[in-house]
């Protein structure tokens, strides 16, 4: 067995118990086949999150997939539980064919799209013939055919792949035209830089989900129109693979730090050089205890992570016939002005920076040695203002000749939500009265925040051969206390804030109390590994 296959198999076997634990496997239980442990076991939730029903696809695939150490191969219990996850999915379907993820009456697009893809594939894998399930499929297909998710590309692509999988089961003449319209619209949204938008920018974990679903659509349909868009995604993302094999983080639009393998594996199986190089960098160490994706939580293993690894294992390998390098392995710069992202490599370091968010990460060899995420100001109870925010009002520029970037903008003010009985009661009442209209209101409150503090900042970053310089100016009409921001965004993203070893990099913090104006200079020296900080405030 090739090393990459061994790695996938190890990762699957290691994390399979975590996913199986989330499923109600008792055939006498009224919730048999439910994949939401918080609902069926802990009983701390009064509805089941449908997006977790994707777990059943892992079982259905492993039932048929023969590899050393697979405990579910031709295992009848695995077949039965996979079928039960499909039956439970049908039980929790809402009247219009949609599903809930976070609260009752949600009618959410993600749980509908992702769960529908998975249950259609379960149905096909197990060779089922159940009229009641087909009736439920028809309702969900019509829902997805008539709805679009314009802000999260990965979700929209999941709906397209789900509809195609459904069309292989039921040749519904009304679905294919809708699928084609959705696909053409989706492909038209790809940036000239190669990324599909995720809440206003380029994100790396969700870009891998987008690539995963594009690749699955290609795998099922053999529609070669999507090969070129997939190649452009890979060509863009290769610039942001870190020397330690990780990718993404605070510089992405949604701050994610995971990466699904199936899309890369499909491109690698077709001989794509960048995909082969990325696959090696990101997945060669997935059999190691310090592998960066070991910190993904149980929810997302049950979501789309583990079944992507299983599907990647199924694909044929492409032999590598020549050495391939990634951008972090040889000197070079690449600036992407639309996304505001910069990748820079010289003989001393690899750095990646978001000019839109004013943050950066710096690696020497395979370690993150320096990072900076701007500043925060406490504005009152549970309210924080930060520079590290994807703000369309921020002005930024990069001069390649001087290797200097400048960012100017205002602190974004975010009210941090805290769960409480009163808040939950209000959410339930609002969801009952508003249904899925509540989703837009919640996104505006927690994701698309556009409130600003009356505090201006200007940040200049200069990349020298052996040093990185950061020069900041802060201006406020009122007295504030300024402090360095930690490596966590205030923007709510469910699949973010998984632990990364770079979170533990020690940094000398900046704290300036009771100031209106401040000048801060930070210098990181690659030779000594030391930071020097100069501050002046009044």
Q: Which tens digits make up the pLDDT trace of 49-108?
A: 999 999 999 999 999 999 999 999 999 999 999 999 999 999 999 999 999 999 899 999
Query: The pTM is what?
Result: 0.96
Distance between CA atoms of 85 and 124, rounded to whole angstroms? 14
pLDDT band at residue 448, thresholds of 50, 70 and 90? confident
- Using CB atoms within 10 A of its CB, is residue 519 exposed (0-12), middle (13-18) or buried (19+)? middle
DSSP string, 274-339: HHHHHHHHHHTTTTSTT-GGGG--HHHIIIIIHHHHHHHHHSPP----S----GGGS-EEEEETTT
Most distant CA pair in the chain: distance in Å?
74
Q: Which tens digits make up the pLDDT trace of 235-260?
A: 999 999 999 999 999 999 999 999 99
pLDDT band at residue 268, thresholds of 50, 70 and 90? very high
pLDDT reading at 445 higher than 60: yes
Distance between CA atoms of 75 and 40, rounded to whole angstroms? 24
Q: Which tens digits make up the pLDDT trace of 481-529?
A: 999 999 999 998 999 999 998 888 888 899 999 999 999 999 999 999 9
**39 inside domain:** yes
pLDDT band at residue 171, thresholds of 50, 70 and 90? confident
Domain end point (choices 130, 157, 184): 157
Distance between CA atoms of 91 and 86, rounded to whole angstroms? 9
Which pLDDT score, from 0 to 100, does residue 275 have? 95
Token pair of 197 as six digits: 């938008």
**265 inside domain:** no
**385 inside domain:** yes
Which pLDDT score, from 0 to 100, does residue 322 have? 64
pLDDT reading at 278 higher than 80: yes
Which pLDDT score, from 0 to 100, does residue 529 have? 94
**Burial readout 461-499 (b: 16 or more C-beta within 10 A, e: otherwise):** bbbeeebbebbbebebeeebebebbebebbbbbebbbbe
**434 inside domain:** yes
Token pair of 390 as six digits: 């994807």
CA angle, residues 497, 503, 505, in degrees to nearest 5: 175
Token pair of 223 as six digits: 């529609």
Length in residues, the chain: 538
pLDDT reading at 112 higher than 90: yes
Which pLDDT score, from 0 to 100, does residue 427 have? 78
Strand bridging mode 359-364 / 350-354? antiparallel
**290 inside domain:** no
**Burial readout 434-454 (b: 16 or more C-beta within 10 A, e: otherwise):** ebbebbeebeeebbebeebbe
Q: Which tens digits make up the pLDDT trace of 495-508?
A: 999 999 888 888 88
For 75, list phi and psi in degrees, rounded to 5.
-95, 120
Which pLDDT score, from 0 to 100, does residue 433 have? 72
Residues 6+ apart with CB under 8 A from 279: 4, 261, 264, 265, 268
Rounded percentage of the chain residues whose pLDDT exceeds 90: 87
Q: Which tens digits make up the pLDDT trace of 36-49?
A: 999 999 999 999 99
Residues 6+ apart with CB under 8 A from 454: 410, 476, 477, 478
Domain end point (choices 157, 175, 197): 157
pLDDT reading at 1 higher than 60: no
Average pLDDT of the chain is: 95
pLDDT band at residue 374, thresholds of 50, 70 and 90? very high
Domain end point (choices 157, 178, 205): 157
- Average pLDDT, integer, range 459-472: 98
Element (H, E) at 372: strand 367-372
Q: Which tens digits make up the pLDDT trace of 388-419?
A: 999 999 999 999 999 999 999 999 999 998 88
> In the chain, how many H helices and how many E strands?
16, 13
pLDDT reading at 426 higher than 70: yes
405: left (phi over 0), alpha (psi -120 to 50) or beta: beta
- Identify whether the C-beta of residue 500 lies closer than 8 Å to the C-beta of residue 452: no
Rounded percentage of the chain residues whose pLDDT exceeds 70: 99
For 274, list phi and psi in degrees, rounded to 5.
-65, -40
Distance between CA atoms of 161 and 150, rounded to whole angstroms? 16
Measure Cα distances from 4 to 10, 283, 393 in Å. 10, 7, 44
Residue 534, classed as helix, strand or coil, is: strand
- Identify whether the C-beta of residue 239 lies closer than 8 Å to the C-beta of residue 191: no
> End-to-end CA distance of the chain, in Å?
65
Q: Which tens digits make up the pLDDT trace of 5-31?
A: 999 999 999 999 999 999 999 999 999
pLDDT reading at 351 higher than 80: yes
DSSP 41: T
Tally the domains of the chain. Answer: 2
pLDDT band at residue 431, thresholds of 50, 70 and 90? confident
CA angle, residues 62, 66, 71, in degrees to nearest 5: 60
Distance between CA atoms of 119 and 107, rounded to whole angstroms? 18
- Average pLDDT, integer, range 324-343: 96
Higher pLDDT, 430 or 455: 455
Residue 517 structural domain: 335-537
- Identify whether the C-beta of residue 208 lies closer than 8 Å to the C-beta of residue 196: no
pLDDT reading at 332 higher than 60: yes
């Amino acid at each position: 067995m090739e090393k990459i296959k061994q790695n996938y198999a190890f990762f699957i076997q290691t994390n399979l118990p975590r996913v199986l634990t989330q499923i109600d496997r008792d055939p006498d239980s009224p919730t048999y086949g439910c994949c939401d442990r918080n609902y069926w076991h802990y009983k701390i939730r009064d509805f089941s999150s449908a997006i977790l029903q994707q777990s059943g696809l892992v079982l259905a695939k492993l039932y048929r997939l023969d590899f050393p150490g697979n405990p579910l191969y031709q295992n009848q219990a695995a077949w039965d539980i996979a079928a039960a996850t499909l039956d439970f999915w049908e039980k929790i379907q809402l009247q219009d064919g949609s599903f809930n993820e976070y609260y009752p009456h949600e009618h959410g697009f993600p749980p509908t799209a992702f769960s529908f893809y998975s249950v259609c594939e379960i149905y096909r894998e197990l060779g089922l013939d159940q009229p009641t399930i087909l009736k439920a499929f028809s309702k969900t297909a019509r829902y997805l055919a008539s709805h679009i998710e314009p802000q999260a590309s990965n979700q929209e692509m999941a709906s397209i792949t789900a509809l195609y999988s459904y069309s292989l089961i039921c040749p519904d003449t009304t679905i294919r035209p809708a699928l084609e319209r959705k696909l053409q619209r989706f492909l038209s949204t790809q940036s000239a830089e190669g990324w599909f938008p995720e809440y206003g920018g380029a994100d790396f974990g969700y870009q891998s989900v987008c690539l995963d679903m594009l690749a699955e659509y290609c795998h099922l349909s053999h529609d070669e129109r999507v090969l070129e868009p997939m190649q452009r995604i890979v060509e863009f993302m290769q610039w942001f693979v870190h020397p330690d094999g990780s990718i993404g983080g605070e510089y992405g639009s949604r701050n994610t730090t995971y990466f699904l393998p199936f899309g890369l594996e499909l491109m690698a199986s077709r001989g794509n050089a960048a995909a082969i190089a990325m696959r090696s960098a990101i997945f060669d160490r997935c059999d190691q205890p310090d592998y960066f994706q070991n910190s993904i939580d149980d929810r997302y293993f049950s979501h789309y992570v583990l079944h992507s690894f299983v599907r990647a294992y199924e694909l044929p390998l492409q032999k590598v016939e020549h050495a391939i390098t990634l951008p972090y392995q040889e000197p070079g710069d690449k600036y992407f002005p639309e996304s505001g992202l910069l990748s820079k490599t010289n003989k001393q370091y690899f750095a990646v920076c978001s000019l839109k968010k004013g943050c950066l990460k710096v690696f020497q060899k395979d370690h993150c040695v320096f990072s900076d995420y701007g500043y925060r100001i406490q504005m009152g109870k549970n309210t924080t203002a930060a520079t590290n925010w994807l703000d369309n009002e921020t002005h930024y520029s990069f001069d390649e000749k001087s290797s200097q970037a400048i960012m100017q903008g205002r602190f974004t003010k975010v009210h941090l939500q805290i769960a409480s009985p009163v808040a939950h009661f209000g959410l339930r009442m609002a969801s009952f009265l508003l249904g899925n209209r509540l989703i837009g209101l919640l996104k505006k409150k927690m994701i698309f925040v556009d409130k600003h503090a009356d505090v201006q900042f200007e940040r200049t970053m200069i990349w020298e051969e052996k040093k990185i310089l950061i020069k900041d100016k802060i201006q406020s009409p009122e007295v504030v206390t300024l402090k360095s921001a930690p490596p966590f965004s205030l923007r709510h993203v469910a699949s973010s804030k998984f632990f990364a070893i770079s979170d533990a990099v020690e940094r000398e913090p900046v704290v300036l109390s009771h100031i209106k104006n401040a000048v801060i200079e930070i210098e990181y020296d690659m030779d000594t590994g030391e930071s020097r900080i100069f501050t002046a405030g009044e």
